[in-house]
Amino acid sequence: MTDTIVSSASKELKIGFAQPFVIIGERINPTGRKILAEEMKQGDYSRVKADALAQVAAGANMLDVNAGIPLADEPGILAESIRLVQSITDVPLSIDSSIVAALEAGLAVYQGKALLNSVTGEEERLEAVLPLVKKYGAAVVAISNDEAGISENPDERFDVAKKIVQRAADHGIPYCDIVVDPLVMPVGAINSAGKQVLHLVKRLREELKVNTTCGASNFSFGIPNRKGMDATFLSMAIAAGMTSAITNPLHEEVMQAVMGSNVVMGHDMNCARWLKKYRQPSEGDFAGGRGGREGRRRRRG
Amino acid sequence: MTDTIVSSASKELKIGFAQPFVIIGERINPTGRKILAEEMKQGDYSRVKADALAQVAAGANMLDVNAGIPLADEPGILAESIRLVQSITDVPLSIDSSIVAALEAGLAVYQGKALLNSVTGEEERLEAVLPLVKKYGAAVVAISNDEAGISENPDERFDVAKKIVQRAADHGIPYCDIVVDPLVMPVGAINSAGKQVLHLVKRLREELKVNTTCGASNFSFGIPNRKGMDATFLSMAIAAGMTSAITNPLHEEVMQAVMGSNVVMGHDMNCARWLKKYRQPSEGDFAGGRGGREGRRRRRG
């Protein structure tokens, strides 16, 4: 039972096999959001704050913070964003950048134990990021691609993840502080994308015993009814053993699927959270309709 | 790759590990449906026919037909219902009764290879039903309970299923003609009900190599937002390896979850069925919104 512990100044959170699924809000990310990018570049963080509060209100357990804006001072903007988000929410954060200097600037201002997003299997990145993870005592997202890019063979992606875990150990970072992203491909382009993830998540959990995360919405990229597909994909990934995801908590279908998955996995004791959210004043427990097949079981009993 | 082949007079259907998930429509069942029960008893089958057509139109791959009406001529009513349903639809049927004479009456009039629903691990029932399965060359649903009732220990339910498969072999019935129902408990009463099913479906598939089915709606019995829970539960059961379910195809959430699960499992080539159902005239493939994390992958690439 691997637990990855992250925290804010006042709150600790476990990502783990025996824990409710962890939703990492993806909204604070200027990629593809022109207005947000421009505002952050101009030092206007009002939308960043609003996105933080809205995602936490919607049920996000953590927030991913990304400041990837071309030709901008990413380290400075990321640090300021993290400082502001931590001043108005108490959920742990994922510090997200492809620039090492930005990751360090974020870690320097972060209060608590952050999730650093991310390291890959690329030599240069391993040796640049892992020392930061160790220095600041953070946890880290390990993305299973390397110099060769992203393999379409899930077992090759497993080998990359294994290499990252071993290299982290060399740096004194335990496997429980590594959350592997098996990489989710768009199923519209790769028909086996779903089976790849289910297979990989099982191997990562059984063989490396690591927690996992993913950019869930990549799966439905380019196909219609994305929210419906994201909901189904996430439930199936959770059944295979995935323990967190970077996704949009404002999508009701997705949150319902995650809450339902917690019930199915036995991680919502007495269905308490499900009942709290969906019970109507009019109906009590066990006031549900006909139990279908169960009706026949009873007759037979 | 186990395929359970069933058929009607004109159509063959495979339930299997490499096949799209099979939806067995549950509606033609008087249990808990007073009006339908009374009509069937009076020889009025108009609602039976309407339920058959509506379920097939909604995407049911098979239909379960049950005529369990207290103090009625169940064998006669079941046989007539099957004859009428086969006269207006071409999907294979599941002949459903707890009375052996009714199962035989249904088999006697059935055109094609039926799914007999069901046999249990009870000695008396094994020796009464298995000879019928062999005599009529049918497939059969094996429910994993016995004289001791339904064990709350999934591994004991596995042992019951194993006993049924072995006994069937003694009667010359191959394991590919047995579809095991691991028994789905209401999660509102048993918190581990979901984990039990996921665990059992994996064992049944890996160790007995049999196809599986379940009364999916039992899981949500007694809790609110049943359709939302049924959809999530089914997706997770499919991820664990379940290959069919007896459920209500008129519930849109459930059908969306099954269609999405077929995409995730790689059983909807090029997402053809998903696109056909959900694509709007306005949008083309790969015209979807921001790909979330994938946006960052591209930046990074």
Q: Please name each of the domains of chain B with its CATH number.
A: 3-267 (3.20.20.20), 273-301 (no CATH)
Angle between helix B74-88 and B100-109 (nearest 10): 30
- Residue B31 contacts A, CB cutoff 8 Å: yes
The beta strands (E) that lie in B18-143 are given as: 22-28, 62-66, 93-96, 115-120, 139-143
Give pLDDT, residue B301.
Answer: 28
pLDDT band at A283 (very low <50, low <70, confident <90, very high): low
Q: How far is A218 from chain B (nearest CA, A)?
A: 5
Residue among B32, B246, B269 minimizing CB distance to A191: B269
Q: B294–A223: do the CB atoms touch at under 8 Å? A: no
Cross-chain Cβ contact B256/A225 below 8 Å = yes
B199 contact residues in A (CB cutoff 8 A): none
Contact yes or no for A300 and B98 at CB 8 A? yes
User: Which of B221, B285, B295 faces A288 most closely, judged by CB atoms?
Assistant: B221
Report pLDDT for A293: 44
**What pLDDT, on a 0 to 100 scale, did the predictor assign at position B232?**
98
| pLDDT tens, residue by residue, A247-277 | 999 999 999 999 999 999 999 999 999 999 9
pLDDT digits (tens, 9 = 90+) for B265-291: 999 999 999 999 999 865 554 434 444
Per residue in B223-265, pLDDT tens?
A: 999 999 999 999 999 999 999 999 999 999 999 999 999 999 9
In the stretch 106-145 of chain B, residues with CB closer than 8 A to chain A read none
Residues A256, A262, A265, A270: is their CA dihedral positive or negative?
negative
- Shortest CA distance from A70: residue in chain B: B299
> The tokens of A102 are what?
């930005």
d(CA A54, CA A42): 22
**CB < 8 Å from A in window 142-161 of B:** 149-150
pLDDT at A6 over 60: yes
CB-based contact (8 Å) between A34 and chain B? no
- The stretch B81-93 carries a mean pLDDT of 98
| Closest CA of chain A from B87, distance in Å | 25
Q: DSSP 3-state assignment of B245?
A: strand
Chain B residues whose CB is inside 8 A of the A68 CB are: 296, 299
What's residue A1's pLDDT? 80
Q: What are the chain A neighbours of B284 within 8 Å (beta carbons)?
A: none
Three-state DSSP at A143 gives strand
| Distance from the A90 Cα atom to the nearest Cα atom in chain B, whole angstroms | 24
Question: Is the CB of residue A222 less than 8 Å away from at least one CB of chain B?
Answer: yes
A285 touches chain B (CB under 8 A): yes
| A-B C-beta contacts closer than 8 Å | 259
Average pLDDT, rounded, for chain A: 93
The backbone torsions φ and ψ at residue B26, rounded to the nearest 5 degrees and listed phi first, read: -100, -5
State residue A163 phi and psi, 5-degree precision. Answer: -65, -40
From the CA of B121, how many Å to the nearest CA of chain A? 13
Q: Looking at this predicted complex, what is its ipTM?
A: 0.92
Residue of A nearest to B256 (CA): A228
Percent of chain A with pLDDT over 70: 93
Closest to B235 (Cβ–Cβ): which among A26, A236, A269? A236
Characterize the bridge pairing of strands B211-212 and B244-247. Answer: unpaired
Distance of residue A203 Cα from the nearest chain B Cα, in angstroms: 14
Gap between the Cα atoms of B252 and B17, Å rounded: 24
The answer to whether the CB atoms of B285 and A198 lie below 8 A apart is no
Averaged pLDDT, B91-115: 98
Best mutation target among A179, A296, A298 (most B Cβ atoms within 10 Å) is A296
In this predicted structure, the answer to whether residue B46 has a pLDDT above a threshold of 60 is yes
Q: What is the pTM of this model?
A: 0.93
